[in-house]
Chains A and B, each alone.
Chain A
């Protein structure tokens, strides 16, 4: 069983997140591996452990700080780490990003075939959830997204997905791109031995040239969308906070009535 997991370096949810010149501000200090990618790493490790053999690759795309995301994956127990970095990738939209990741996946797949690419259900900075589908289409692999449970048998992956209108069971032949939700598993904590080993573990550094990707297809040049303005929303004004001394329910109701909401 050979699995590649995509991980993203994102601003810590608990930090003050912001934009700088139309880009999400990223720095090594308050950045982290996208929390939902921990579920993807966990799913991959569990499948390999259940199979009793196999390897897990963690792949990230981003500037120099993004290496922190694959180091985190190494701490959790993945076997190999790849960091794709190239100045031309900055400002890529989801399709540019999918082009780069697909090229990296193909490079690994050519060395020895992969069974699965597993991603998180969304990155907690952009939250668009578009990448898994774009990646499956780029690779021309089958897709099984939003898995809250998954299993692999007989050359197929079977997932459960909970959609608002229905619960589905979906079966896709391998190789497949699977995205997992935070219901899929409970991510493990890194242990001391792995933390120490992760510091020294090699991280393959690949550029666009290594992947044979034309710089004009990605980055700002290839982007179909551009952020033209980003500004912090003003804090709410006239906020009211009361402590219940016996009539808070009435006051709350009066607030709603006055606003025409009740």
Chain B
């Protein structure tokens, strides 16, 4: 019997969709238990985790879990019996996974697009080199930690879901040498966060700094707004929107690149997306090489027309 601990990502007390995706994946590997760092979840959040297959919700009320070593100790205490630990792959959870692996001897794969059990060992799949190669990795150690990317599993409730039991886990967290002296919350837009969005519409140099059309199309498609490094460097849009190897890596079902040439640094952050569409004035732009549908033209002409057509279709 394989126990799979899932580190739940939650925002303002609500379970995020990638957490439900991770629970869905966890059910294919064994029996999921949810690990919740922070003050105890509300009844509806715990119930939702149960619907997606968690048999328990293990709560560690860990103050100051922003420091990786403390979060790793909290997660470790709540997942001591787990054969597999799943986290949503982010810069922060990768540090937590690394610390937990060193404490437990577990093997780690991060940025995975999927995982399965083969002869009792966890094997993961990833795309690497700007999504030009597929790699399968086997975790040889008894305990496995996997960082899974959002949008790589379709979240679905468990068929025979029971109620999850909420359990408090007591743990003495280690003192840390580091201290966080200032935290300023990033203003979260109304839409879905970039990394989790099923649709991403990104604007680059070609926008000239005008994100009105990009935003309009993103909202129409229920997606998030992204940007290239050029655009964030220009200060046209904040760094949180940057898609690329050093910004956010996204794998939405649809990626629209408007006025983005597609330098390798950008492609590395979006090339594994489902369908890729681009609009660019330069027919030689490398983005065309990886686009399913590419338009040589001005985004200022193309986007308004596309928006009108989609609205017309929906109204019909």
- Which residues of A approach B to under 8 Å, CB–CB? 13-14, 17-19, 36, 93-95, 121-122, 124-130, 133-134, 137-138, 142-146, 158, 162-173, 181-183, 223-233, 236, 238-244, 247-257, 259, 261-262
CB of A248 within 8 A of CB of B302, answer: yes
Q: Are B293 and A252 in contact (CB under 8 A)?
A: yes
* B54 interface residue (CB < 8 Å to A): no
Chain A residues, CB < 8 A from B195: 164
* Minimum CB–CB distance for B315 against chain A, Å: 13
With A122-B246, A164-B248 as given contacts, are A171 and B179 in contact (CB-CB < 8 Å)? Answer: yes
Residue of A whose beta carbon sits closest to that of B109: A225
A122 engages B133 (CB within 8 Å): no
B15 CB-CB contact with A under 8 Å: no
Whole-angstrom distance from the CB of B38 to the nearest CB of chain A?
A: 13
B215 part of interface (Cβ distance < 8 Å): no
Instruction: Specify which chain B residues have a CB less than 8 angstroms from the CB of A225 in the assembled complex.
Output: 107-109, 137-140
Which residue from B111, B184, B240, B304 sits with its C-beta under 8 Å from A249?
B304
Contact B199 A236 (CB under 8 A): no
* 10 residue pairs, one from A and one from B, having the closest CB atoms: A249-B305, A244-B297, A224-B107, A253-B309, A169-B182, A142-B177, A229-B136, A249-B306, A253-B306, A133-B98
Q: Hey, which bits of chain B sit against chain A, CB under 8 A? A: 11, 66, 68-69, 90-92, 94-95, 97-99, 101-102, 105-111, 123, 127-129, 131-141, 176-186, 188, 193-195, 199, 220-221, 239-240, 245-246, 248, 253-254, 264-265, 268, 275, 277, 279, 283, 288, 290-298, 301-310, 313
Q: Flag if B136 contacts A172 (CB, 8 Å).
A: no
Are A172 and B107 interface neighbours, CB within 8 A?
Answer: no
Q: Are B178 and A233 in contact (CB under 8 A)?
A: no
Q: Which of A182, A241, A249, A259 has the most chain B CB atoms closer than 10 A to its own CB?
A: A249
Check if A244 sits within 8 Å of B295, measured CB to CB: yes
Given A130-B97, A168-B180, A230-B134, A254–B309 Cβ distance below 8 Å? yes
Q: How far is the CA of A249 from the CA of B95 in the complex (A)?
A: 43
| Cα A65 to Cα B316 with chains together (Å) | 63
Report whether A163 and B91 are in contact in the complex, using a CB–CB cutoff of 8 Å. yes
Q: How far is the CA of A162 from the CA of B239 in the complex (A)?
A: 8
Q: CA of A103 to CA of B101 in the docked complex: distance in angstroms?
A: 19
Report the separation of the CA atoms of residues A252 and B220 in the bound assembly, to the nearest whole angstrom: 14
- Complex CA distance for A94 and B131, rounded to whole angstroms: 21
Sample of 19 more A-B contacts, CB < 8 Å, known A94-B108, A168-B66: A130-B108, A133-B95, A137-B102, A143-B178, A146-B91, A163-B186, A168-B182, A169-B181, A169-B183, A172-B178, A227-B136, A229-B135, A231-B133, A232-B133, A240-B292, A242-B296, A248-B301, A252-B293, A255-B293
Most buried by A among B69, B131, B177, B283: B177
List 12 A-B pairs, Cβ < 8 Å: A17-B132, A18-B133, A129-B95, A137-B69, A162-B239, A164-B240, A169-B180, A171-B181, A231-B133, A233-B134, A249-B302, A261-B275
Task: Determine whether the beta carbon of A165 is less than 8 Å from that of B186.
Answer: yes
Contact A252 B302 (CB under 8 A): yes
Q: A36-B246, A127-B111 are known contacts. Are A240 and B298 too (CB-CB below 8 A)?
A: no
A137 touching B292 in the complex, CB below 8 Å, given contacts A130-B108, A233-B132: no
Q: Which of A121, A164, A224 contacts B108 (CB 8 A)?
A: A224
Contact residues in A for B193 (Cβ distance below 8 Å):
164
What is the CB-to-nearest-CB distance from A162 to chain B, in angstroms, rounded to a whole number? 6
Contact A243/B292 with A142-B177, A227-B135 known, Cβ cut-off 8 Å: no
Q: Which residue of A lies closest to B221 (CB)?
A: A262
Q: Decide: B294 and A241 in contact? CB cutoff 8 A.
A: yes
Residues of A within 8 A of B279 (CB): 252
CB-CB under 8 A from B179, the residues of chain A are 170-172
